[in-house]
Amino acid sequence: MKEVINGKESTIIPIRSERKITFIPGANSKGNGDFHFIHPETGKVIPVSDPIIYLLHDSIQKRESVLRKNKDWFDCPPESLNKIIAEIVSIKDPIQRIEKTEKWRKASTILYYRDIHRTLREREEITIDKLLPPNAEGLLRHYRITSEVEKGGDFLNAIEHAAVNFMREEKLLIVIDRYIAFPIPIPMKVINAIKNLSKKKRNKLINDLIRSPHSPLSKFHLIYLLLQCNHDINVAKRFLLDILSDEGQKEFDAFWAVLDWVNSEFNRWTEVKKWPEHIRFAMVWAHTHRLYILFKSGGVTDDSIIRSFHIYSSAIISSETFARKQDYWFDVAHPRNINYISLIIDGINYITDNNKSLISQDLKEIINSRISKDDETKLPDLSLLKDSSRLSNFLNSFLGFSRDRILSKFIDFKDAQLLSYEGLKELVKSALNKLENQNDNIKSWFLLHAIIGDSSIYNNLVDQVKIILYRINYLDLFKKDTSLGIYSIGFACQQLHNLNNEELKLKIKDQLYQIAEYFSTLDFSQLENDTNIPEEFSKPDKICYKLIEMAYNISITNDSPEEAIIEFIDILRKLIDTWKVFIPETKNIIQRLCEELPITQSQHLWKLLVRLRAE
């Protein structure tokens, strides 16, 4: 092979064959290939064309030339590329030159995405393992950042700096395409570079962007860019209407399905788990955006994306089940904190920050219909009650900022004020004050669930929450109303990891056992006929799942996954001993945990599974 690359014919005799094969330098008669040979049996001319074989050339200049022509093999900044090329071309052993280059090629994110695009375009089968990038560091290089970049404003500055350097390497269209993958504002220097183009070039660039496939995230970025560049506002409105349409909601559902899966898989990836939270979030969103774009450009429908990723996600237990990092879990960019309504509000807040002309009266009515409950009350969607101020924002993204300013444009001003950070805090204070005197006020428990859930309590309300949760007899609330009991002890279990109070934890565990004992004495056939009890709380299997969820929330207050699992098992054993209905419901859960958790965690579960199988 080395001889033919250097311009000499070369002959070999394959093993178990007496026929010679001659490799001939240069293209065949059709002009294809870097060299060719004639098949010894069929006589067919076989061209061989892979630029990497030029690394066998004796000339260092030829080797360097082929590497520079194929810079995408390395997908890195110019200064790094120069060092890598100098190192490779100077290696004396030709096989080592190729092996080192091939290692870079396999780690190239550009080549990886290009290969997925080809696979989808040619309608070839693509397996789930192919949907993860080949190399973690290669993914960072693709965006010209490192895992050492600090969070918040420092991360925004790092992206700005990376984008500026990238503009020196690539066309502006490629730069924009690369940096609209994050849930942060487009770097302002990129916007300025677009503005500084001639009108003809700017219009061509914008038209190219408009024609490109987009994710729900990049549509907001495109609208922002159109407004910043004073492009036809009707085009921006058209894209916003797309987002607000039924099809737009389906696109979000598909995008979120990919986001949830990518997040879970990245959290299983050893190299990625070493990254700081903000870097992991950035790469999760960027890879999700790219996969979604590739699927859409490859003709995959949103329904197919939703269906496929639902199967992928439900087929395996989340990597964060017992190994939950609190800082990561409680961030605005985590998929669990993202929904269609919140993205609409946060996205509109982002794109209209310095532009008031986009939202016409007809758009206001459409937005109002999207963010309001689908009933006659026209109250804001319940998902807007979630107080995102209780979440971190490591990326300094446009997600999760106070929404009252933007909401006041679309809903009643008083409702918008209630949904501001201060308004939500006042609702929580009011709910807690009512519960001090009337602990069976189900509306107050519901508000605590909706606004706070498992997020941290406001600092000046922590002591009040501890006192209320400790004083309550949750069993009495269950006897009054099953829904009331579920909401009250459910909220208490969610808050244990925030309150860090062992005495409260022991009390709630004891109450959980008493509640299980109480349900073991009930005749559920009567409950199922009671129209005052919601269906999900009138069947024993549904109650079991709720109590198992509470046992889980109690157990994850522990510092390590192993400690959490041991306590989870202990609680389940006592619940099973109290109410045998738990056996079939618990067996399925434990079976999956045993099969899918890391061995360091699952080893604690097998003894319980053996018992459940035997009973």
* Helix pair angle (78-89, 60-69), 10° resolution: 150
Question: Cα separation of 235 and 239, whole Å?
Answer: 6
pLDDT of residue 439: 96
pLDDT per position as a tens digit, 285-339: 999 999 999 999 999 999 999 999 988 887 778 878 898 888 899 999 999 999 9
Chain segment 58-117, per-residue pLDDT in tens: 889 989 999 999 999 999 999 999 999 999 999 999 999 999 999 999 999 999 999 999
Which one, of 51, 20, 16, lies nearest residue 37 by Cα? 20
Three-class DSSP category at 2? helix
Task: Categorize the per-residue pLDDT at 28 as very low, low, confident or very high, splitting at 50, 70 and 90.
Answer: very low
Average pLDDT over residues 479-497: 94
In this model, does residue 22 exceed pLDDT 60?
A: yes
Contact 72, 108 (CB under 8 A): yes
**Cα–Cα nearest to 178, from 261, 285, 281, 262:** 285
Q: Look at 3-17, 215-229, 590-604 and tell me which has the smallest mean pLDDT.
A: 3-17
The letter for the amino acid at 328 is Y
Residue 201: the pLDDT is 96
What's the pLDDT at 496? 96
User: What is the torsional sign of CA 386, 387, 388, 392?
Assistant: negative
pLDDT, average across residues 510-533: 82
Q: Element (H or E) spanning 10, and its range?
A: strand 10-12
Query: How high is the pLDDT of residue 33?
Result: 44
DSSP 30: T
Q: Please report the pLDDT score of residue 373 as a whole number.
A: 65
* 388-430 tens-digit pLDDT: 989 999 999 999 777 777 777 777 767 778 888 899 999 999 9
> What are the respective helix, strand and coil percentages of the chain, to the nearest 5?
65, 5, 30
Contacts of 125 (CB under 8 A, 6+ apart): none
Contact 468, 498 (CB under 8 A): no
Whether the per-residue pLDDT at 27 is higher than 90: the answer is no
Q: In sequence order, what are the beta bridge partners of 380?
A: 372
pLDDT digits (tens, 9 = 90+) for 455-473: 999 999 999 999 999 999 9
What confidence score (pLDDT) does residue 358 get? 83
> pLDDT tens-digit profile of 360-389?
888 888 888 888 765 554 567 788 888 998
What pLDDT does 356 receive?
65
Angle between helices 502-520 and 540-555 (to 10 degrees): 170
Of 117, 309, 292, 142, nearest in space to 219 by CA: 292
The larger pLDDT score, comparing residue 519 to residue 415, is at: 519
Q: How far lies 73's CA from each of 70, 515, 524, in Å? A: 6, 62, 65
DSSP 580: T
User: How far apart, in whole angstroms, are the C-alpha atoms of residue 300 and residue 290?
Assistant: 14
The pLDDT, as a whole number, for residue 434 is 97
pTM above 0.85, yes or no: yes
DSSP for 238-303 reads HHHHHHHSHHHHHHHHHHHHHHHHHHHHHTT-HHHHTS-HHHHHHHHHHHHHHHHHHHHHTT--HH
The span from the CA of 79 to the CA of 86, in Å, is: 11
pLDDT of res. 286? 98
The token duo for 29 is 């008669």
CA distance 34 to 6: 11
- The domain ranges of the chain are 1-49, 335-418, 434-614
Chain centre to alpha carbon of residue 543: 31
